[in-house]
Amino acid sequence: MAEKSTEKSEDQEKPVAAASKRKPRKTSKKVNKNAPVYYYGTGRRKNAVARVRLTPGTGQFKINNGRDLNAYFGRSTLCAAVQQPLIAVELLDKYDVIAKIEGGGLSGQAGALRHGIARALLAADEDLRAELKKEGFLTRDPRMIERKKYGLKKARKRPQFSKR
């Protein structure tokens, strides 16, 4: 019987991975010093999502392609709710807010914008975390709409009971 050799010949060895032979890429990005500085934050509430950018400025709000805060929300209570994080840290006149809001209704969108502003402020200055956390602006509101159940008209509303 022929003996099996346990040694591998040179042509049977596994080839070295091609990735290990490559030189590492240079990942240096050019920084444009004239580009505007902004801080980004994403806020969510119910089904609404707000993508917020804070730029140093005079306190203007531009929502969904340049609409003003009062023109977009209309109700003063919603406008006040949106401004709460900036008022809490006393930076209302220091930053301009540019936001793109999608989904949900007006109340959910106002809550999402407030959450996004708080997160963007945190990106701007990490020292504001204690104040924002104490007021509850960094916590996402987990309340969602309850789903509709079969046999019911809505989530909990039942059809009218008829005795006869």
Angle at 143 between CA 141 and CA 148, to 5 degrees: 155
The tens-digit pLDDT sequence of the chain (164 residues) is: 555 555 555 555 555 555 556 766 666 667 677 777 889 999 999 999 999 999 999 999 999 998 999 999 999 999 999 999 999 999 999 999 999 999 999 999 999 999 999 999 999 999 999 999 999 999 999 999 999 999 999 999 999 999 98
Token code pair at residue 111 = 């809550």
Parse the chain into domains and list their residue ranges. Answer: 39-135
Q: Answer yes or no: are the C-beta atoms of 57 and 48 closer than 8 Å.
A: no
CATH 3.30.230.10 for the 39-135 domain, yes or no: yes
